[in-house]
Amino acid sequence: MGSALLSVGLVIGIAAILTVVVKSIKQPPIIAYIITGVLAGPLFLNLINLNNDSSELILIFAHMGVAFLLFIVGLSLDFRVLKEVGKVSALTGFSEILITAGVGFLIAISLGFGNLTGIYIAAALAFSSTVIIVKILSDKKEIDTLHGKLALGILIVEDFVAALALMARSILSILSCSS
């Protein structure tokens, strides 16, 4: 447990130092967090490794951080605002998903992947990271701007479609196992 806490402390220290550095060059702190993850991972400092006792604690902190960030997003979400940008966000979101997934699937197939693998690659390419985009919009204080509202609307559409895709995949998996 002591080494786990030391690892967490080192990761937080690295993140704090890198955050100061990226802010000094006017970049969003999320860049510092990503760099911290790369540095703390098994390729460099090996502070986060799935084979040691600190990984479980770090994963708990990571899940809590994402949960708190999404909770804050939920608190700042105004459904009246989403209603005003809803049609544009829905149309843009669905179009973006279809175009990105379609292009991703075609690229995967042209690279020699099978249909099922192509679908997974297409799905991975079609969805943006809500957490990262919301964090950047929040840091830049742009959530309440028109483009921030549109981005949030598009992200909600993407998350909704992603949830439906995950449910469909689970159902298909259950059906294929039962037959």
pLDDT of residue 179: 65
Count of domains for the chain: 2
pLDDT at position 1 is: 52
Helices (H) and strands (E) in the chain, counts: 7, 0
Give me the pLDDT at residue 54, please: 59
Asked if 135 contacts 66 with a C-beta cutoff of 8 angstroms, the reply is: no
Q: Are residues 69 and 82 in the same domain?
A: no
Q: How far is CA 7 from the centre of its chain?
A: 23
Q: What is the pLDDT of residue 127?
A: 84
Taking only the tens of pLDDT, the chain with its 179 residues reads: 567 778 778 889 999 999 999 999 998 888 998 899 899 888 888 877 666 665 677 678 778 877 887 777 677 667 777 778 888 999 999 999 999 999 999 999 999 999 999 998 998 888 877 878 888 888 888 988 889 889 988 988 888 888 888 888 888 888 877 76
Q: Three-state secondary structure along 40-103?
A: HCCCCCCCCCCCCCHHHHHHHHHHHHHHHHHHHHHHHCCHHHHHHHHHHHHHHHHHHHHHHHHH
Last residue of a domain, one of 58, 75, 92: 75
Q: Are residues 125 and 147 in the same domain?
A: yes
**Residue 84 and residue 50 share a domain:** no
Single residue among 60, 75, 90 that ends a domain in this structure? 75
DSSP state of 1: -
Q: Are residues 98 and 155 in the same domain?
A: yes
Same domain, 158 and 88: yes
The answer to whether residues 83 and 41 belong to one domain is no
Residue 157: closest CA among 127, 125, 177 = 127
97 and 156 share one domain:
yes
Q: Contact at 8 Å (CB) between 18 and 30?
A: no
Full domain range(s) for residue 106: 78-178
Structure tokens at 112: 């020699």
Query: What pLDDT is attached to residue 122?
Result: 92
Q: What is the pLDDT of residue 25?
A: 95
